Structure 1
């Protein structure tokens, strides 16, 4: 059913419900009027009026029944499941049966209450004994989480080696259908399947320049949807308020090569935990230096044995 049809059905349903409510209200008022007329039955002039009201009441009931039928049909057409209600006689039979069962089982209930009370007394005694034992044990045993003579806890390592930076190649690229500033790229980083990457580079890098581009990608950011497309990595760029440039990898770098930083070794996180703010903590120290070399705390980023990572022209700017 089209949107307009659904809207029309909803409108019809509202009108039918409103008319049914109004009809019920009129019936209530008419009943009150009829009762008043009955009290004045001695007055001959009231009889024709009473008969007219009776007839009008019957007509209204007929109209209400028709409205209810239309309401049910409309609900069925809109997929509303209909549930048959039990009759008044069936309800009365159930109530009578329940009363007879309650009356016949009253002594059993009393016995159950007595048993429950005794059981509760036993449980209370057991709890008090257990509390006494726990108090003794708590004095004898050290508290959980505390180790006697434990040394100082080492702080969590927070350096650039936790970032999974690798060389990758854009094998497919297109503009995002729902965002004018975004590209959707398929990137080969040496894995079995290319990764999908969403980048906000439309205003800074042309589509032709993106095709076949070899660059540095961060692979262990937590995947996130960008305008409905799941991005599985991030392309690393030098960035200023006026300009954004994709970082250049050294000649001879191969797809899947790791990008490392001198003086910082270790295995990167499988996925950076957003709650620990690892990327947010490390990001401010990722910059290009005065020679355009990508660095972290002044230590250069490089592909081992092949050369440094550099920016085309931006100097002393943030890398992100």
Structure 2
């Protein structure tokens, strides 16, 4: 407690003893203990700050060492590549190997000195050619680089982020002239001109109720002709087992062209879905309307950012197609 005694003036102790002769000494002991604890806490905080500073400096040193090591490896690779690509020096000519005139025979000592003791090894090109011939005789093939194998084995991602889903407004709707079960919609999706969409809704939905409604369209499907009319997008709808069909509705306040995104799948959509990969067919089993009527993919809702979720008007627990 010597350090604590230095923190208090003797007059303070005398005043406490005068005010409270019985407990004055205990009060002074309490003050001294509290002062010591405060000082130890300050020292501990200083130690923690120093430790954090050392950790930061240590991490910086590790990063510098890693950079130096990478630079050294790059230099080593460049040096090796340069050595492999450099041409072999030409063999010594007869004039350089011996200075003896042609019409005079060289002495045995001169003849031995003229013969190179360490002939240059064969060039890299010749060695590679011999290796290929040897493998061909053994029936072996040159091993592929590991990066090529990885690139060949890699599969493109198949999730809902590859779909270009947008909000559209139906400007007009009419029956297909060549098919009673089909209808033709002109839909504004925020582009210079509306898109023509052919759907099989002619006999299942009151067409006059569709005009002016906000719907969800799949816009990166390949355009195809349906009974002579080119369809440039796909209307998303939901249906139950009893063949009751409703078009998915965009949230209130949406505008044509708004993107429909998914919080857990932030990737960019394809410019056009490859027909050979059948992306839509693979994703469709996981596109559903839940018990609250919200459209979702694997539990992640169809969302127009800042405006809400896409829903079915009245159906629940059904598939999206």
TM-score range (shorter-chain normalised) is: 0.5 to 0.7
Deviation of the 1:202 alpha carbon: 1.6
The reply to whether residue 197 of structure 1 matches residue 192 of structure 2 is no
Greater fraction helix: 1
The reply to whether residue 231 of structure 1 matches residue 203 of structure 2 is no
Alignment of 1:37-48 (within 5 A): none
Partner of 2:171: 171
CA distance in 2, matches of 1:149, 1:259: 36
Deviation of the 1:261 alpha carbon: 1.3
Q: Point out 4+ residue stretches in structure 1 off by more than 2 angstroms.
A: 133-146, 148-155
Deviation of the 1:155 alpha carbon: 3.0
- 1:222-267 superposed Cα distances (whole Å, 9 cap, x missing partner): 1111111111101110112320001111111111000011210111
Deviation of the 1:148 alpha carbon: 4.7
The reply to whether residue 147 of structure 1 matches residue 145 of structure 2 is yes
Deviation of the 1:135 alpha carbon: 6.7
Q: Is the 8 A contact 1:204 1:245 kept in 2?
A: no
Question: Using a 3 Å threshold, how does the CA distance of structure 1 residues 169 and 143 change in structure 2: closer, same or farther?
Answer: farther
SS of residue paired to 1:279: helix
Deviation of the 1:207 alpha carbon: 2.0
Q: CA RMSD, aligned part only?
A: 2.7
CA distance in 1, matches of 2:267, 2:132: 42
Partner of 2:275: 274
Q: Is the 8 A contact 1:219 1:232 kept in 2?
A: yes
SS of residue paired to 1:208: helix
Deviation of the 1:173 alpha carbon: 1.5
> Unaligned stretches of 5+ in structure 2?
1-126
SS of residue paired to 2:197: strand
Question: Using a 3 Å threshold, how does the CA distance of structure 1 residues 139 and 287 change in structure 2: closer, same or farther?
Answer: farther
Q: Matched residue pairs, number?
A: 189
Question: Using a 3 Å threshold, how does the CA distance of structure 1 residues 137 and 271 change in structure 2: closer, same or farther?
Answer: farther
Question: Using a 3 Å threshold, how does the CA distance of structure 1 residues 190 and 138 change in structure 2: closer, same or farther?
Answer: farther
- 1:157-200 superposed Cα distances (whole Å, 9 cap, x missing partner): 11000000000111121110000011111111011111110011
Question: Using a 3 Å threshold, how does the CA distance of structure 1 residues 149 and 314 change in structure 2: closer, same or farther?
Answer: closer
CA distance in 1, matches of 2:277, 2:298: 20
Alignment of 1:228-267 (within 5 A): 228-241=228-241, 242-267=243-268
CA distance in 2, matches of 1:313, 1:178: 31
> Unaligned stretches of 5+ in structure 1?
1-132
Alignment of 1:35-74 (within 5 A): none
CA distance in 2, matches of 1:202, 1:135: 70
CA distance in 2, matches of 1:291, 1:150: 47
Larger Rg: 2
